[in-house]
Amino acid sequence: MNTSPKAKTLRFDRDNMWVELSDGRTLGVPLAWFPRLLRATSAQRAAFRISSRGLHWADLDEDISVAALLNGLGDLTAQRPRAA
């Protein structure tokens, strides 16, 4: 039986993303952990979908799992070196 909490609601303030979970906890996560969300407009941030595994922003190509948030993991996308 899978008892992992699911995301119920999502909101943002100036510096953080707040995820309410199905088990009653609320996670506050710095936007700095997710550069795409940090750089996004309010409208882009609001265009999310909650799925059984986490959070998805199609226009931003961003997917964040609840499991990763619970483990304190931010964006794990490899950063490409900038051309000189």
Domain total for the chain? 1
Half-sphere exposure in the Cβ direction for 52 (13 Å, CA): 2
Q: Which ranges in the chain belong to alpha helices (H)?
A: 35-39, 42-46, 66-70
Q: Look at residue 70 in the predicted model and tell me its pLDDT.
A: 94
Residue 78 lies in a domain: no
Q: Read off the CATH number of the domain in which 41 is found.
A: 3.30.2020.40
Residue 83 lies in a domain: no
CA angle (14 as vertex; 12, 15 as ends), nearest 5: 90
Residue 84 lies in a domain: no
How many Å apart are CA 58 and CA 66, to the nearest integer? 17
Q: Look at residue 83 in the predicted model and tell me its pLDDT.
A: 53
Q: Look at residue 76 in the predicted model and tell me its pLDDT.
A: 75
> Which residue range forms the structural domain that includes residue 16?
7-70
Instruction: Copy the structure tokens of residue 20.
Output: 């309410």
Lowest mean pLDDT among 6-10, 21-25, 75-79: 75-79
pLDDT in tens, 38-75: 999 999 999 999 998 899 999 999 999 999 999 998 88
How many Å apart are CA 8 and CA 21, to the nearest integer? 5
What's the pLDDT band for 79 if we cut at 50, 70, 90? low
